Homo-oligomer: A and B are copies of this chain.
Amino acid sequence: MQQLTNRSIALKSRPVGMPTEQNFEYREAPVQEPEAGQVVVRSVYLSVDPYMRGRMSDAKSYVAPYELNEVISGGIVGEIVASKSDLFKAGDKVIGMLGWQLYNVVDAKLVRKIDESIAPLSAYLSVLGLTGLTAYFGLLDIGQPKAGETVVVSGAAGSVGMFVGQIAKIQGARAVGIAGTDEKCAYLINELGFDAAINYKTTKDLGKALEEACPNGVDVYFDNVGGSVSDAVINLLNDYARIPLCGAISSYNSTDGDMGPRIQSKIIKTRSLMKGFVLGDYASRQQEGLTQLGKWLSEGKLKYEETIVDGFDHIIDAFLQLFQGTNLGKMLVKVD
């Protein structure tokens, strides 16, 4: 293997509130030779996701916190550039949870081969990856929308939300999205077939806008954001509503306690169900989800959108943009 220079990004200090560049450290070092059973993966696309903010803190959560002074990890699609494993040869495209670096030298069992003839490489980080599967299992297993019911999704133009609305439509439900710009709302309605979309930033009375968009109330609320948006949706729950709790992005950088109206009385009155979940809860059903998502994709029933930021040096930028609501669909970084 020719001598390659690696670059990586480590967590230097734990952010308080919104992370800044100062919380991270860029490093350079030679790429090590792979040992027996290892492969060298050149990063092509790198996924930045809101859940990573949680891992940067050391609070107890569903995934272990990132270690200080260690390279940050996440979903990465790449190409094998050297292999000492029978599983892969140079040129193979793979996906895995890898480090934020130009090259990862890892055990071959930690990556999975992907097929560029089925979908573009980047799709394996969205519709055929974690975000598609998250929408699939959260909506269908917890939300269980029925034909004619109303599904509201917050963060609707985000990487998970846009699949939630489309899968709701496939199930015959009414899909109502909440997003943060008029462009996103137009996209949800015109391109993805949502029945209605609300710009929560410019709408003066979110409760009233939701009532108009949901004349029959809310049966499923797929929640990506938490905060006051969720307060307004919960107020409109129908009896036996279901709330898959996927994210609370509005509170991830909150340092003020995240106060709001208590929801228990409403949950009782409507006998609703609220359940937090992570994709890992459905590990044993991953293939089922990928097969169904691939089928819908090939039938043209699922569209996906990406916001691609170019260059390894812009990873932190791209990550921080997640919290400014600028991205449409999955936020990715093209590394090379």
Residues of A within 8 A of B (CB): 54, 59-62, 223, 226-227, 230, 239, 245-248, 251-252, 257-265, 267-278, 281
Contact A274 B271 (CB under 8 A): no
CA distance A59 to B268 in the complex (A): 13
Once A272-B275, A276-B272, A278-B271 are accepted as A-B contacts, the answer to whether A258 and B258 lie under 8 Å apart by CB is: no
The residue in chain B whose Cβ has the minimal distance to the Cβ of A231 is B262
Contact B262 A271 (CB under 8 A): no
Contact B281 A268 (CB under 8 A): no
Query: Which of the residues B59, B230, B247, B261 comes within 8 Å of A258, measured between beta carbons?
Result: B261
CA distance A271 to B283 in the complex (A): 15
9 additional contacts, CB 8 Å, given A62-B268, A62-B271?
A54-B269, A60-B269, A248-B262, A259-B261, A260-B260, A267-B274, A272-B275, A273-B276, A274-B274
CA distance A263 to B230 in the complex (A): 11
Instruction: Tell me the smallest distance from the CB of A254 to a CB of chain B, in Å.
Output: 9
Contact B275 A271 (CB under 8 A): yes
Task: Give the number of copies in the complex.
Answer: 2
Task: List 7 A-B pairs, Cβ < 8 Å.
Answer: A60-B269, A226-B262, A230-B264, A248-B265, A264-B276, A272-B275, A273-B275
CA distance A273 to B155 in the complex (A): 22
Once A239-B62, A259-B259 are accepted as A-B contacts, the answer to whether A271 and B276 lie under 8 Å apart by CB is: yes
CA distance A263 to B258 in the complex (A): 9
Contact A276 B268 (CB under 8 A): yes
In the bound complex, residues from chain B placing their C-beta under 8 Å from that of A267 are 245, 274-276
Instruction: Tell me the smallest distance from the CB of A184 to a CB of chain B, in Å.
Output: 22
In the bound complex, residues from chain B placing their C-beta under 8 Å from that of A59 are 269
CA distance A312 to B268 in the complex (A): 31
In the bound complex, residues from chain B placing their C-beta under 8 Å from that of A262 are 226-227, 230, 248, 251, 258-260
Instruction: Tell me the smallest distance from the CB of A81 to a CB of chain B, in Å.
Output: 38
List the 3 shortest-distance A-B pairs measured between CB atoms, nearest first.
A268-B276, A267-B276, A226-B264
CA distance A140 to B223 in the complex (A): 27
Contact A258 B265 (CB under 8 A): yes
In the bound complex, residues from chain B placing their C-beta under 8 Å from that of A257 are 261
Most chain B CB neighbours (cut-off 10 Å) among A247, A265, A267: A265
CA distance A251 to B262 in the complex (A): 9
CA distance A267 to B246 in the complex (A): 10
Contact B246 A268 (CB under 8 A): yes
In the bound complex, residues from chain B placing their C-beta under 8 Å from that of A265 are 226, 248, 251-252, 258
